[in-house]
Amino acid sequence: MYKIIAHPGTAHKDDFMSVSILLATLGSAEVFRREATSEDLADLNTYVVDVGMEHDPEMHNFDHHQGSNLPCAFHLVMTYLGYHDAAMVVFGWYKQMSMMDVSGPYRTAEYLGVDTSILFASSSPIDGYILSCFSKVTVLTEQDSFYGLMKNFGEDLIEMVGLKMTRLERLKKEAQVFPIGHLKVLVSQIEDNPKLSMELYLRALNDEAVVMSITPSTRGAGWELVRLGDNRVVDFRSVESDPEIRFVHVNGFIAKTRSLIPLDTVLKLASQAIVPPGLKVHP
């Protein structure tokens, strides 16, 4: 039976996520929230995270407090398991999570170019509740419902890394970019979870002229047309009277067709939603 040691007292995202990802990969383990002993650090069947003042992956020790150049414990564990590089690509929060844990909210806010109050205002009460529950734990075994929650969370993270990276590679092969007027639209005809990794592919494209995406809709049988980055040069209210259109949002940022009409037809609709150069963009 494996053991996982995490620090006692107030729990943080770092230790919670480190333990979760280990529960997902070890199969079965007991979790203890206490200070690590020398015996723990020397035992290959014991994984010590965010405590112990030792970073030695071969010995399964993943603390970062002894070196200012080390990232958070979760990054250390993810690197050891081989998921770090992919996680840096697929999770927008991943890099900043380590910065928050290692450097704190003020330096993180400075790096992001925002006021610290924005970070505090965007904190989630769900995070707070879950971490509060973990703070009360001293020992966690497979019989505890919270154990299952943490293990499932870790499994979901690992699965999402694989799904997103696989989809990103598929988009690179199958997605198409078409001109619409003086701009461009990204089209993907993948019907299974059509939005998966779309933001990653757009980031890889790095083309400011791409202002719209067209994918199969997740609600209904038609296409979904979405303006990107809230670029007001796209306004689908201009096509809402077309008989092929089933729905247009009142603010004009999304439209849906009744069916998967031919690609050239949906591209024509997309071009009609582009505000011509020189015309006033609708607020």
List, for residues 12-52, the tens digit of each pLDDT value.
999 999 999 999 999 899 999 999 999 999 999 999 999 99
> What pTM does this model have?
0.89
Identify the domain boundary among 104, 137, 165. 165
Q: Among candidates 169, 202, 196, 164, which has minimal Cα distance to 184?
A: 202
Report CA-CA distances (Å) from 235 to 17, 35, 250, 252, 272. 41, 58, 10, 5, 9
Asked whether residue 109 is domain-assigned, the answer is: yes
Q: Verify that 67 and 139 share a domain, yes or no.
A: yes
Q: pLDDT of 130-159, one tens digit each? A: 999 999 999 999 999 999 999 999 999 999
Q: Say if residue 207 is in the same domain as residue 135.
A: no
Please tell me whether residues 184 and 266 are part of one structural domain: yes
Q: Is residue 36 part of a domain?
A: yes
> Is residue 76 classed exposed, middle or buried when 0-12, 13-18 and 19+ CB atoms within 10 A define those classes?
buried
CA angle 73, 76, 79 (to 5 degrees): 150
Kindly state whether residues 153 and 191 are assigned to the same domain: no
Q: Does 276 have pLDDT greater than 80?
A: no
Q: Is residue 279 part of a domain?
A: no
- What CATH number corresponds to the domain at position 231? 3.10.310
Same domain, 148 and 230: no
Could you tell me if residue 47 is inside a domain?
yes
Total count of residues recorded for the chain:
283
Residue range of the domain that includes 255: 175-272
Residues 118 and 6 in one domain: yes
What's the structural domain count of the chain? 2
User: How many angstroms from the chain centroid is the CA of residue 276?
Assistant: 35
Confidence of residue 232 (pLDDT cuts 50, 70, 90): confident
Residue 277 lies inside a defined structural domain of this protein: no
Those residues with Cβ within 8 angstroms of residue 7's Cβ, 6 or more apart along the chain or in another chain: 15, 33, 34, 35, 50, 51
pLDDT score of 280? 56
Looking at 119, 139, 165, the residue that finishes a domain is 165
Picking from 111, 137, 165, the residue at the C-terminal end of a domain is 165
User: Would residue 141 count as lying in a domain?
Assistant: yes
- pLDDT number for residue 220: 86
Residues 227-252, mean pLDDT to the nearest whole number: 94
Q: What is the pLDDT of residue 278?
A: 56
For range 93-120, the mean pLDDT? 92
pLDDT band at 281; cut points 50, 70, 90: low
The answer to whether residue 242 is domain-embedded is yes
122 and 191 part of one domain: no
Q: Residues 72-81: what's their mean pLDDT?
A: 98
Q: How confident is the model at residue 277 (pLDDT cuts 50, 70, 90)?
A: low
Residue 216 has pLDDT above 60, yes or no: yes
* 155 and 212 together in one domain: no
Same domain, yes or no: 142 and 210 = no
Q: Do 222 and 200 fall within a single domain? A: yes
How high is the mean pLDDT of the chain?
A: 94
Same domain, 189 and 135: no
Q: Phi and psi dihedrals of 251, rounded to 5? A: -95, 0
Question: Is there a single domain that holds both residue 132 and residue 73?
Answer: yes
